[in-house]
Amino acid sequence: MVAIFKEHHHSITVRGVLKRASLNNMMCSVFGREYRLDSLNNEVEQLRALVDEGYDLLGTLNWTDHLPWLSDFDPQKIRCRCSNLLPKVNRFVSRIIAEHRLPTGAVETRDFVDVLLSLQGPDKLTDADMIAVLWEMIFRGTDTVAVLIEWILARMALHPDVQSRVQDELNKVVGKSRDVDESDISSLVYLQAVVKEVLRLHPPGPLLSWARLAMTDTTIDGYHVPAGTTAMVNMWAIARDPDLWADPLEFIPERFVAKDGDMEFSVLGSDLRLAPFGSGRRTCPGKNLGLTTVTFWVATLLHEFEWVPCDDITVDLSEILGLSCEMANPLTVKLQPRRP
């Protein structure tokens, strides 16, 4: 990924690179496959198309959810598209599972498919269950990482003082003679605060992505919620509530830097003022991996480059809401190398 950015440092739109890198990272972790980011691969392009179609379907307002009498007509062709997508996903993932079952005779690094195949007894999964688990990991873990990193880099380009402070911290912790290592992350306190502040202002899943269905009639805070009601948590609104946050619309990473004696602010679900990964037993199972990946990649990119707005293209923080909350206009910046 760094090599691609170095080749196009005069001006580059970062979204495509980040999404390819994120997909490749998940393919490596889940399926044990790794590809070059600077070349096309049919398998990667096929999976990218499946993920994009799934995101588009889930991010579309389905009128039949609100007007059930329309369901027989499928006016938006959502049911038809879902029916076409499902067998494609099943074929794609089933083929990779079948390849993992073939004996190779070589000692290879185990990936997540191997772990699932090794389960025995009551933990053993059917192929259908494995497909569901593997697809969920790929689908949920690909775009969210890329979306969040794009927002962070946009903020760095708009706030050079914050970017400079992060890079000063990188100079002290890492230095310029070596690459960033994952073990450095715990020492990059200010960078972690920057990531949390971007999660507050630009949560990739502003409605915590998945809706919940009321199974019975209930009452919440005096409001009657009938059975069958779809409910969502609006984390975007909570994270901008002036009753909870001082200057909620301002980008202030320092709010997440723990003072002496204070506990670190967790974004993993224990504090509901900012729970971008959800909370409770339905919390995102990949939250630790996702947060570590984002922090490590951002540390690497800020260690290697200074991120500067282009002269003729402004950094626009307008949002577009689908399944994720992306920048409406993809980020295009200039890069200035920081290391020889």
Q: Could you give the CA distance from residue 83 to residue 74 in angstroms, rounded to a whole number? A: 12
What string of DSSP letters covers 261-295?
TPPPPP-SSSSTTS-TT--GGGS-TTHHHHHHHHH
Distance of CA 318 to the CA centre of its chain: 18
Residue 287 C-alpha from the chain's centroid: 9
Write out 47-77 in H/E/C secondary structure.
Answer: HHHHHHHHHHHHHCCCHHHCCHHHCCCCCCC
- Residue 95, exposed/middle/buried by CB under 10 A (0-12, 13-18, 19+)? exposed
DSSP state for residue 185 in the 8-state scheme: G
**28 carries a ligand binding annotation:** no
**Spatial distance between the Cα atoms of 298 and 125, rounded to a whole number of angstroms:** 36
Q: Which residues are CB-contacts of 26 (< 8 A; sequence separation ≥ 6)?
A: 137, 138, 141, 142
- In order of 66, 213, 215, 221, the CA distances from 224 in angstroms are 18, 14, 13, 9
Q: Could you list the residues known to form a binding site, using ranges.
A: 284
Q: Could you list the residues known to form a binding site for heme, using ranges.
A: 284
